[in-house]
Structure 1
Amino acid sequence: MIPFTSLYWVLYWQLRSILKWALRQTTRLCELQRICYGKPSGAPRSAAVEYSLQHSKSALVQNALKELDAAAASRTIFGRNQKCLLEKSVRTVLKVKRINPTNHVAFIRNFSRCVEHIWGYKQLYHIVEELRLTQFDSSCENHERKLTRLWNGLCPDVPLEGRITKQWQDIGFQGDDPKTDFRGMGLLGLDNLVFFVEEYPAAARHVWSHSLHPQHGYAFAIVGINLTSLAYHLLEDGTAKTHIYNACKSLPTLRSFHQLYCYLYYEFDRFWIEAKPEDVMQFTFIKDKFEKNIRDMLADPNTVFKINFAVKTV
């Protein structure tokens, strides 16, 4: 006897094939055309195109997807290579689906944007993963310079007494040497913090001031690294696609990830202050509740997180 779930999927794929054939006959449009013409731009359209391509039975289409996957993994989707890959994938789909490019210029434009979203996201994941796996190295001048930039971004008028000093605890590190706190998220955690304090200095200092609250305060840097972990896992499991696809007009970049992080940190700070925790021991509970809220928001295909930091004196 075929298990119920197996029977369900057998029927699903049979009905899906029949429905696709029927719609093709009546509309004279393939599934990808119907998506690109009928779905709103951003996550609704790009997610539907991604699903359709993943389940294509065409060997030519699947080979094209493998080539795009390889380019994303090697982080080579940019410049001239990006243009060549995009044009090749479009030509493949036009050929397989027998689409006249002269009559469907809008399809080519919309489909190309979806391809940029889908494989730009995959490439972004590989870029982020490489940073996460890169451990902070005290002997690397570039790593040390980033650490100094973090300090100067938050405390421009206070000189560091030394490389290893208790001053680091003033901005939320656990000990005298910050490098030990980056083990979990690697260089990614530092890069996120540096981006926040340099791109949105007023907002970052506003959040940092909250972290110094005598009753409701928290460790700014440590919480920041925890939020790097949240942003990373949203990217890894695909939940962040909703925001990324809606926010990016073309190829998602590392800046897109940094901006998502900044949004998460600013909103978490607000969430934390409104929760009025008795002490930092409530961090895990509040962070988990915050993550659930974010994931619930991203379940809506129209969600896009807009950075509009309204800094007030609190």
Structure 2
Amino acid sequence: MRFKPMEYISSLFRWIFSTVSVFCNKFTRPIFKWILRRTTGLCELQRICYCEPNGAPRILGVEDSLRKSKSNKIKTLLEFLDRAAVERRFSSEGSGKIVNNTVQTICSIKKIRPDVHQPFNRLFGECVSIIWGYYQLIHYIEDIKTTSYDATNQEHEKQLLELWNHLMPERKLECRVSNSWKDIGFQGDDPKTDFRGMGKLGLDNLCFFANNYKDVSRQVLSHSNHPQHGYSFAIVGINLTHLAYTLWKDHSAKTHVYNLCSQQLSVAGPTLLHFHRFYCYLFVEFDKLWLAEKPASIMEFGRIRNQFEKNIRLLLANRNCIFKLNIPVEHV
């Protein structure tokens, strides 16, 4: 094997930089925090809540500060909040009590006087509600994803037929198992086999798009049936469910979700509605990219899909990111 000195030197510098960065983060961060606490009279959480802009910058800052805390009391608190999210206790009834107790606990640990720092109580409480509401929703989405499509379940079957009716209102489906399903982008005569990867979540997303954005979804469907540059509408839709799920699961979507929730008049954690709308945004934007690329065949799907994911992740990397569909919603 030939020795390459430049590659060796480059690797050495990367190792040194990485080591120094870790060292500085480990030892200088506590020092800076102590100096700022002494000079401002505010703890890090207070400085974030008061100084960071509303939305993802503030919420991500609070979450990062809590996760990096070395306080055993805060670590115990985080374990409680994570467990509450798994058990779905951030409901309309239970969320308020959990958030209030969390604020009181942090004030006690950080020696913050609630009567003096009333804005902190509200701002920090809003962050807690959105952060752990997000985690709770991910667990719920996971449950839907792992729920297999069941052809013996009347609700599942009803929802599948509604999908056809929303997309093909002028045309009646001849029978449940039919070659006609290919006209809306399924692979075979029975769509149930196409939901194996994403389970019920794939069907829920498609139905939400078709029901709540009727004109847009039918327009996208017509694009997918282009004689030269077409694609399989339903299959691509299920693939985009996987992308949406992945972006939420690996927390890339936090910027969008945190910014969106913080803009609401009544601040609360995200709901399944936010996930469905996020999916619809992806579908519309993917369709735009596909039409712009004018692929020669469906064989280019992998390339375009990878480019699309790269574009979306780049947008989400911006802490001010927020995805909005500038089209009317009919039944939301």
Please indicate, yes or no, whether the TM-score normalized by the shorter chain is above 0.5. yes
Distance 2:217 2:88 in 1: 30
2:94 aligned counterpart, secondary structure: helix
Offset at residue 146 of structure 1 (A):
1.1
**Does residue 177 of structure 1 match 2:190?**
yes
Q: Distance in 1 between matches of 2:297 and 2:17?
A: 50
Alignment correspondent of 1:47: 60
Residue 153 of structure 1: which of 141, 166, 172 is its match? Answer: 166
Match of 1:60 in 2: 73
Matched, 1:89 2:102: yes
Query: Does 1:257 find its partner at 2:278?
Result: no
Give the Cα separation in 2 of the matches to 1:25 and 1:175: 68
For residue 80 of structure 1, give the secondary structure of its aligned residue in structure 2. coil
Does the residue aligned with 1:163 lie in a helix, a strand or coil? coil
> What code does the residue aligned with 2:58 have?
R
Structure 2 CA distance for aligned equivalents of residues 175 and 76 of structure 1: 41
Q: Distance in 1 between matches of 2:16 and 2:284?
A: 48
Letter in 2 for 1:260: F
Equivalent position amino acid for 2:319 in 1: P
Shift of 1:81: 1.1
* Gap runs ≥5 in structure 1: none
Percent identical residues:
51
> What 5-or-longer segments of structure 2 have no aligned partner?
1-14, 263-267
Deviation at 1:268, TM superposition (A): 0.4
> What secondary structure sits across from 1:248 in the alignment?
helix
**How far did residue 67 of structure 1 move?**
1.1
The Cα offsets for residues 108-167 of structure 1, whole Å up to 9 and x where unpaired, read as 111111111211111111111111111100011111111011111111221111111111
Return the match for 1:191 from 204, 222, 234. Answer: 204
Length-normalised TM-score, structure 2: 0.90
> What is the RMSD of the two structures over their aligned residues, measured on CA atoms?
1.4
Aligned equivalent of 1:36: 49
Deviation at 1:55, TM superposition (A): 1.2
In the TM superposition, what is the alpha-carbon distance from 1:59 to its structure 2 partner?
A: 2.0
Task: Work out the CA distance in 1 between the residues paired with 2:171 and 2:20.
Answer: 68
**Aligned mates of 1:40, 1:5 — CA distance in 2:** 30
- The aligned counterpart of 2:31 is 18
Counterparts of 1:141 and 1:64 in 2: how far apart (Å)? 43
Matches within 5 A, 1:1-314: 5=18, 8-249=21-262, 250-309=268-327
Letter in 2 for 1:64: L
Distance 1:7 1:298 in 2: 28
**d(CA) in 1 for partners of 2:41, 2:97:** 29
